[in-house]
């Protein structure tokens, strides 16, 4: 890959440089989505709803961040001192964005076929592991509450810590008459998902 593209894809905005990963992340997000959608269409006869469920899981911020960690990306991200001190190199949001930026850079440099081949190698474990085949934790909790004649779960943002580039969110979820669980995440959505998962593990 061209050095300038590689550098841009790994550069966080906190570096204060003229070019950071955002434009390549925008492009890589679309390339990843198409590569995964084509892969799912090729290997599965599932209905559109099931394919969409798996696609959403496989391109999620959490999955992209997990792939980035597996590939050793965190050690190469170019972060400003404050962002690094605040844990930016382990943020799902930043890791997910950088992973997509790297895919975007590969697409610009080598074209779709090479980018697609990379995605299939890098995402082999999540694909083989059945990511997205199970119900999303929030959907599972919603159904569990309804099936047990309880009111729908209520999610509350308890607190938000840290700067914008490395924020941490704590969210609680309550099913009235059953209990409350809290969880943290690098986005409100991630924290809600974790809280729902923990609630199901404890109470369902």
Q: Which of 29, 66, 190, 192 is catalytic?
A: 29
Contacts of 172-177 with CB under 8 Å at 24 or more apart are: 173/141, 173/199, 175/141, 175/145, 175/150, 175/151, 175/199, 175/203, 176/150, 176/151, 177/150, 177/151
Whether 4 sits among the annotated catalytic residues: the reply is: no
Q: Which of 20, 25, 100, 190 is catalytic?
A: 100
| Phi, then psi, of 179 in degrees rounded to 5 | 165, 180
Neighbours of 129 (CB within 10 A): 10
Whether 100 sits among the annotated catalytic residues: the reply is: yes
Question: 3-state class of 66 per DSSP?
Answer: helix
Catalytic annotation, residues: 29, 100
């Amino acid at each position: 890959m061209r050095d300038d593209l590689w550098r841009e894809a790994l550069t966080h905005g906190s570096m204060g440089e003229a070019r950071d990963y955002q434009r390549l992340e925008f492009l890589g997000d679309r390339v990843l989505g198409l590569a995964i959608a084509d892969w799912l269409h090729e290997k599965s006869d599932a209905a559109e709803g099931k394919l969409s469920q798996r696609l959403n899981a496989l391109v999620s911020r959490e999955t992209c961040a997990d792939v980035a960690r597996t590939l050793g990306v965190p050690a190469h991200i170019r972060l400003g001192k404050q962002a690094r001190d605040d844990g930016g190199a382990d943020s799902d949001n930043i890791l997910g964005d950088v992973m997509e930026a790297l895919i975007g850079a590969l697409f610009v440099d080598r074209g779709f076929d090479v980018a697609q081949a990379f995605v299939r190698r890098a995402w082999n474990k999540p694909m083989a592991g059945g990511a997205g085949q199970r119900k999303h934790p929030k959907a599972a909790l919603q159904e569990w509450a309804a099936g047990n004649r309880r009111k729908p779960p209520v999610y509350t943002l308890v607190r938000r810590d840290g700067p914008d580039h490395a924020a941490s969110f704590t969210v609680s979820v309550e099913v009235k008459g059953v209990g409350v669980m809290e969880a943290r995440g690098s986005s409100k959505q991630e924290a809600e998902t974790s809280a729902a998962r923990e609630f199901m593990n404890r109470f369902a």
